[in-house]
Amino acid sequence: MLLKGRGGGSPCNSHRLTATMSSAARPDPAETPEEQRFLSTEEAAALERELLEDYRFGRQQLVELCGHASAVAVTKVFPLPTLSRKQRTVLVVCGPEQNGAVGLVCARHLRVFEYEPTIFYPTRSLDLLHRDLTTQCEKMDIPFLSYLPTEVSAWWQMGGQCPKTALLPCLPSQVQLINDAYGLVVDAVLGPGVQPGEIGGPCTRTLATLKLLSIPLVSLDIPSGWDAETGGGDSEDGLRPDVLVSLAAPKRCAGRFSGRHHFVAGRFVPDDVRRKFALRLPGYTGTDCVAAL
């Protein structure tokens, strides 16, 4: 869902979403392919094409649905009545591809839900959808940061290291400022099929900073920098989100997610599409737009 090119772009193993590739007609059980737990990149792209081309969903419509559901997932894990004033502050980090657009919508809905979002959007897209969503956030008085402390990246790249057992005392003061200022961070930097090097320096430096934060991290669709198929690449020493919100259906890399909460935001997927892709989506409670895996 929301793959590159469309934008400008759990411990609960027993409850994982499963998917198999099959035709719309019911196949012979003996010929049914081995059950798959997560969507491949190819399957996710085909599902999105189905929504856009056959069901005539608009790109902005899908972004809005995913962004709203992502904000709802945040409220499930961090309900407002349980939070202190400081914990209500949310830093939403957005990239220039479609995942970043979802992040902008997520920030807007968090504001509606009475959280206090701030957006960091280091590489702005010229895409009209991104510009419109940015305007909406600005009109709602959501602050945009001009920069994140970048000294941490230089410190890290120049070989600054410390023992893992003593990580927190060794954190640069710039990173601790972020830990102190916000209750959690939403990672909407990179989506499936987008690597840090393709976006450029600002996003690469931002990910280096996010890796060192101690406050909760919520990743949208996939943790930024992970390979959507294998979970390789940055998954080895990269972002370790506490919460993952899979859009439409989990991607294969979600099999390596070990955080506390995994949600799927796919209630908008029509039943016929679910059957076509043999999606075994979890049940949704009441009018919820997200379900826990």
107: nearest Cα among 95, 93, 97, 96:
93
133: nearest Cα among 188, 178, 192:
188
Tokens 């899979």 belong to residue: 246
pTM of structure: 0.80
**How far apart, in whole angstroms, are the C-alpha atoms of residue 197 and residue 184?**
26
Tens-of-pLDDT digits for all 293 residues of the chain? 555 544 444 333 333 333 333 333 333 333 334 344 588 889 999 999 999 999 999 999 999 999 999 999 999 999 999 998 888 999 999 999 899 999 999 999 999 999 999 999 998 999 999 999 999 999 999 999 988 764 444 444 445 454 444 444 445 567 888 998 999 999 999 877 666 556 667 778 888 889 989 999 999 999 998 888 877 654 455 789 999 999 999 898 888 899 999 999 989 999 899 888 888 777 889 999 999 98
Residue 179 CA from chain centroid, whole number: 20
Residue 43 CA from chain centroid, whole number: 18
